[in-house]
Amino acid sequence: MSYLRKAVNLQRKYLIARLIQEGIYPVHNKKLYRKSTNELIDEYQQLRNNKKQQISK
Please give the backbone phi and psi of residue 24, each rounded to the nearest 5 degrees, phi first. Answer: -70, -40
* pLDDT computed for residue 4 by the predictor: 94
Whole-number Å distance between alpha carbons of 31 and 40:
11
Whether the pLDDT of residue 11 is over 80: the answer is yes
Q: What is the sign of the dihedral through the CA atoms of 36, 41, 46 and 51?
A: positive
Predicted confidence (pLDDT) at residue 1 exceeds the cutoff of 70:
no
- What confidence category does residue 55 fall into, taking pLDDT thresholds of 50, 70 and 90? confident
CA dihedral 56, 25, 31, 55 (to 10 degrees): 0
pLDDT at 13: 96
How many residues are there in the chain? 57
pLDDT band at 37 (very low <50, low <70, confident <90, very high): very high
Q: Whole-prediction pTM value?
A: 0.85
Residue 29 DSSP SS3: coil
Work out the mean pLDDT of the chain and round it to a whole number.
Answer: 92
